[in-house]
Structure 1
């Protein structure tokens, strides 16, 4: 969905008009339902680890967000299921207590059908408010935030169910009909140099100016970026396989101390989902042959950093990554393309770009060397929504660019994803960098 062009300095441009927001609301909500459609009630209840959540919980929590932060902003609003406030609150301590995250998989009730009914009713209530002009500017802003939030959970629904199905010894597919595209080719890695400069990164604070951006993306500010070079494309499966076969997981000198400890404790020997033959991997379409030219994915920060050391390089900073996307449209392989696995670039993909870069957006999130912290002058959103991002600015690392499980219209150059360094179940890979 897109909105008419607007002056980014106009605060009203931060939120689409109600009629366009209504279309976008229906579009995003329908996509979540389609993503969950292949799942049985048993699938939707699976929680394979503490960091994952059941698909049923994702469907309910995103609905709770709209009810709690949009509809319930009206003091006279009667909640549909008052007890569910406890079940589907994620981490908003200022609102009240919540069910423990590691125990979400124990919630056999409400059932999947009840959760779907809940979504239907809350959607109808939001639609009526939008059609009747019953949402003021602040409520419309919260609705837009809720849509961005749901798009984040759409990706999490996919990554979480992939991990859950992989834990099943039968290795069942999420969808048997997912296309398998292997039309790419070996694209030589080239280094693209950039000189030292002072440049601006980040986004204007939303909703005061410009289009949507999460609070952790602002304010826009200047940084000194030393001279450096970035790889023209992400690291491929074939290249990472060379690291594995060269004993990269056995060479302590390549690893950060915490990473080595984690790898030894959990027995890491290859990327998550790779078969021990290093030629096959579990995908959302079941076990398939690895495409050697596609970007490697499902790496932790520790693995990405160790590979970069082995390759005689390093990970890029988020400023270096963001500057590489300056004036570049958001284009790449996203969830909209229905592959749901990283793809190899076309033979001439890099050459087709004026700047020589390929796959900066889509396919795999790219780990950066930047710790997730506040930009100078950061201000969290007011009230309970201030808990959305800021309180997680400790012990996490920034990823950039989106993945094959990210909706295309959810991505922008300033977007800052973040995960702890041991996280492997996300579609995360790496692009190399080096000092000039």
Structure 2
């Protein structure tokens, strides 16, 4: 952990009793995107969930309690995302203004949103991705301790419509979101945060951990000092990451991709059959099998036309596991070479047999030029990109490197 620089030294806010009605609170959001190489979040740190809401929303709570009528937010990291979160913060009767700046270090602010309001200001800051997660988890612990202390002390917080088996044990402090289900023989806590619609099959142990929304964890599993979102696991204690756990261990409770249309499946079946037959007579029969960054297996015929080379991919479209048009799947090495910003964009983009990069003559994700085309495709309307690629489909079928 690194010491705070003088320009980033946190400022004290006026005591609550001296803040006047109609005052203004100026906040700066730290730009830690360059450190976020482990979680690779698509939001700035100030918008990461701490307990029941994003960290910035805790400061809005503070402002309302202090009778402040306006909050001015300075942001240099993804200000468009910050603006969207502020627009969605309709529960707080307070005016806000967002100022996008190149750097927040010298902004005229009252506080930096890297800690909870009225908590002890940190003397050190994280310097890498794992330290950033440690720091985030320390904020979770502070919030749990504060929420369960004082005059309105409680042992643990429970959302709506939760179901907990009578044989399970809760070790406070713990926070459970809405519609959480905990099976028999589980031990939850201490310092466990479970998002909404989380299902923990028994018997399992969850402590010093955060489980994100719409995630299930299978029985006979221990989750400690870890972060789990769907099938993605980050182990803070051992500094290890698993991008996609086996579905029998953990996974997502929602479909992350839209169902592949029947016409796509039909066209893929026809093209795949033709490609497979042509492959039987192809002079180049070298098969290359590889794993993508998210644990999926792909097979290609090296050196053949795309119709032959990706014939097995077309059958994945028939099964509904892949799109006909999308960004190209990437190997672990190709994925790790991307910046955190590009990873956050491509992480949610569906993979396809044919891509915009193919139109540009780039047919490998390992090609440095492909990433630019993939990111461009990911941020464009999917229907428009699909029409563009499909309009040139017949020429793509016979394209080679």
Shorter-chain TM-score above 0.5: no
Larger Rg: 2
TM, length-normalised to structure 2: 0.24
Higher fraction of strand? 2
TM, length-normalised to structure 1: 0.23
Relative CO higher for 1 or 2, CA cutoff 8 Å, sep ≥ 6? 1
